[in-house]
Amino acid sequence: MEIKYKNKPSKEVIVRYCERIAKFLSAHNLSISIELLDIPVRYQASINDIPECIEKWWIKKCTINTAMIKGLEIILPRNGIEENITDKEIWIDAWDIQNQIYQHLGLSPQSQNDPYWKLWNYLKEIR
């Protein structure tokens, strides 16, 4: 049976992930920190009581800071971070995080000058 997120992400993997998120969301002056568990939460998915896969959830919490928000705990859009995570996957996470920020602030992107749209400038870089 497949075990997803079998190994605890290394500090280097977490640092790289956070640096890429911060870069993609730099229009918001965002900083992000991820706290890991020492022992993962084990989750087993099944369909009709037939086990499909097991996931080990290592992420305890994810906190962001921006110019407008301090110490907001967000739901990371994934249950784990693997060493081979791609920039495209990280960009998609940045998009989700940005939407959580706007939802928390009760905002929607207004004009093309809104920082929300700056994220799309990085699409060429990740393709």
20-78 residue pLDDT tens? 999 999 999 999 999 999 999 998 888 888 878 888 999 999 999 999 999 999 999 99
CA dihedral for 38, 39, 41, 46, sign (positive or negative): positive
pLDDT tens digits along 70-101: 999 999 999 899 999 999 999 999 999 999 99
* Residue numbers of the domain that contains 95: 2-126
Identity (one letter) of the amino acid at 5?
Y
Tell me if the pTM is above 0.75: yes
Domain count, the chain: 1
Name residues whose C-beta falls within 8 Å of residue 98's C-beta, 6 or more positions apart in sequence. Answer: 25, 28, 116, 119
Average pLDDT over residues 102-116: 91
Task: pLDDT band for 2, please (50, 70, 90 cuts).
Answer: confident
The span from the CA of 103 to the CA of 113, in Å, is 19
